[in-house]
Amino acid sequence: MNAPTPIHAPQDTIHFHRTELSVILSLYGRFVAAGEWRDYGISALRDVAIFSIFRRTAEQPMYRIEKRPKMAAKQGMYCVIGMDGRILKRGSDLKTVLRVLERKLIRAVE
């Protein structure tokens, strides 16, 4: 006798790995300490993992850090997107992509 077919088969979703989250949360912590950021959210979707950064909880995200593995061979799987939807930086190395935000931290501290 065959097992019944599930009605809703589990979908594969994209997630940030522990090493990726470590890099992102390190940067996030420095911005929190500087008083610039207050909250974040993580979404794991079918084609993309998103780390959203908020100044306040009820607002739209100031920045989104996205991981899209399907873009790895083209323009790089990581990108930072601003509040207005513009791509600020894209590449295959997460630390290099996040430098666009580190420059903003230096300006905020000064």
Which tokens is 58 given? 């009820």
pLDDT of 38 higher than 80: yes
With bands split at pLDDT 50, 70 and 90, how would you rate the model's confidence at 11? Answer: low
Per-residue burial over 56-82, b if 16 or more Cβ lie within 10 Å, else e, is eeeeebbbbbbbbeebeeeebbbbbbe
Q: How far apart are CA 77 and CA 9, in angstroms?
A: 26
Instruction: Give me the pLDDT at residue 2, please.
Output: 56
Instruction: Give me the pLDDT at residue 52, please.
Output: 95
Q: How far apart are CA 26 and CA 7, in angstroms?
A: 41
pLDDT of 28 higher than 90: yes
Look at the alpha carbons of 93, 101, 23, 38 in this order and tell me if their dihedral is positive or negative.
negative
From the list 19, 70, 15, the residue with the least C-alpha distance to 43 is 15
Condensed to tens digits (0 to 9), the pLDDT of residues 73-100 reads 888 899 999 999 999 999 999 999 999 9
Its pTM stands at 0.82
Q: How far apart are CA 6 and CA 3, in angstroms?
A: 9
**Lowest pLDDT segment from 4-18, 20-34, 45-59:** 4-18
With bands split at pLDDT 50, 70 and 90, how would you rate the model's confidence at 57? Answer: low
Q: How far apart are CA 70 and CA 59, in angstroms?
A: 29
Instruction: Give me the pLDDT at residue 12, please.
Output: 82
